[in-house]
Amino acid sequence: MIRVLLADDQAMIRGAIAAMLGLEGDIEVVAQAGNGDEVLAEAGRAKPDVALLDVQMPGGEIPDGIAAAAELHTLLPTCRIVILTTFGRPGYLARAMRAGASGFVVKDSPPEQLADAVRRVHQGLRVVDPALAAESLSSGASPLTARERDVLLAAADGATVSDIARRLHLSEGTVRNHLSAAIGKTDSRTRAEAVRTADHNGWL
């Protein structure tokens, strides 16, 4: 049996996926989690072979499924990770692979495709949604530096330059420079537009 940990912040979706996988004779859902913090706790307890992690899982100290993947990869290197998400954004794919994921599947994939992805990553293979892989190749890597990404993330809630400077322990001039660079690199007119563009592409 392939032991699976399933993580999604929406209980109904999590339950439906668990029920679907439960119909497979060689797959058993041994743990479920609603946020990134629970992923690590459940993985430590259940020692799954494969973890299916949703990208957007707010509510814990670990901000999303990709961050959870990185932590899980360190905690339990033998566990294969598949990112399962509604948001098929090219930047998410690159970040997920850097975090140690072996697969990336969008939620509107046919059920049999998800079960097949679990089996294939368990065998040591990589599984990536083909349309997303093609889009990722055509769009290229994120143009933002790590610090520009940090500044845009801090700006996402409408924070002022002084607020961002305090949060990131930077001078206000440095924050303005990073915001200006990010606006230019995302071909935006304002920082709010830069945040939207970067988020849409999965760069944040």
Question: pLDDT value at position 106?
Answer: 82
- Percent of the chain past pLDDT 70, that is, above it, reads 92
Would the pTM of this model clear 0.85, i.e. be above it? no
Structural domains in the chain, CATH included, are 2-138 (3.40.50.2300), 146-200 (1.10.10.10)
- pLDDT tens track for 134-182: 555 445 677 899 899 999 999 998 999 999 999 999 999 999 999 999 9
Looking at beta carbons, which pairs linking 200-203 to residues 24 or more positions away fall under 8 Å?
A: 200/89, 201/89, 201/90, 201/91, 201/139, 201/142, 202/87, 202/89, 202/90, 202/91, 202/92, 202/93, 202/94, 202/95, 203/91, 203/142, 203/143, 203/144, 203/149
Q: Does residue 52 or residue 107 have the better pLDDT?
A: 52
